[in-house]
Amino acid sequence: MKKIINIGISAVVLGLILASCNNDDNYQTLESVNKVKIDSVKIINDTMDVFTVQSIKTYSAYQSNCEGFYGYDYIHDDNVTRTITAYKFTTDGACEPSTKTIASQINFSPQQPGTYTLKFWNGGSTWITKTIVVE
C-alpha cells in the first residue's frame, strides 16, 4: 500500500513540475522605453491649496497597437518649477499602425504656497507651460 501511495505522490509531483515548465508564448516582451511628446495638457483648477491633490491629464499620440504609456519623469527644477516628460513602451507583438491618443494622469500635490510653473515636454526643445497658483 505504501508503494502505491509513493508512486501516486511521485506522479502528482512530476505532473506539477512539467506543468510549471510550460512555455507560454502568448505574452509580449517589452522592447524599448522612449520619450513621447505630450500634445496637450488639461488642468482643471489653476488655483489650489497647499497639501491638496490635483489630477493633471496629459494627452499623447501613439503610432501602433504595440505602444502605450509607460510613466513620467517628474523633475523639481527649483521650489516652484517642475518639468514633466512622458515615456512610452514598445513591445515585440504583432504591431499594426493605428494612431491613437491616450490620456495619462499625474497627481500634483504642492507642499508650499507659491506660483508653480509646470513644463510638459512637447518634442525637441519645446515645452507646454502651465501655471498653478498655490495658496
Confidence of residue 61 (pLDDT cuts 50, 70, 90): very high
Return the SS3 of 127.
strand
Asked if residue 18 is part of any domain, the answer here is no
Residue whose C-alpha cell reads 510549471 in the numeric block: 20
Host domain of residue 68: 28-134
Instruction: Give residue 66's pLDDT.
Output: 92
Name the pTM for this structure. 0.78
Give a yes or no: residue 14 inside a domain: no
| Alpha carbons 120 and 128: distance in angstroms, whole number | 5
Question: pLDDT per residue over 108-134, tens digit each?
Answer: 999 999 999 999 999 999 999 999 999
Give the pLDDT confidence score for residue 76 in this predicted structure: 94
Per-residue confidence (pLDDT) for residue 8, from 0 to 100: 54
Q: pLDDT by residue (tens digit) across 65-88?
A: 999 999 999 999 999 999 999 999
Residue 55: inside a domain? yes
**Does residue 19 lie within any of the structural domains?**
no
What does pLDDT average to over the chain?
A: 87
How many alpha carbons lie under 13 Å from residue 122 in its C-beta half-sphere? 11
- Candidates 96, 102, 132; CA nearest to 39 is 102
The answer to whether residue 10 sits within a structural domain is no
Residue 6 falls within a domain, yes or no? no
Q: How many domains does the chain have?
A: 1
CA 39/CA 72 separation, integer angstroms: 14
* Domain assignment present for 74: yes
Q: How far is CA 3 from CA 8, 14, 67, in A?
A: 9, 16, 56
Residue 89 has pLDDT above 80, yes or no: yes
Q: Tell me whether residue 4 is in a domain.
A: no
What Å distances lie between residue 124 and 32, 36, 66, 73, 85, CA to CA?
A: 19, 11, 23, 16, 11
Of 48 and 95, more confident: 48
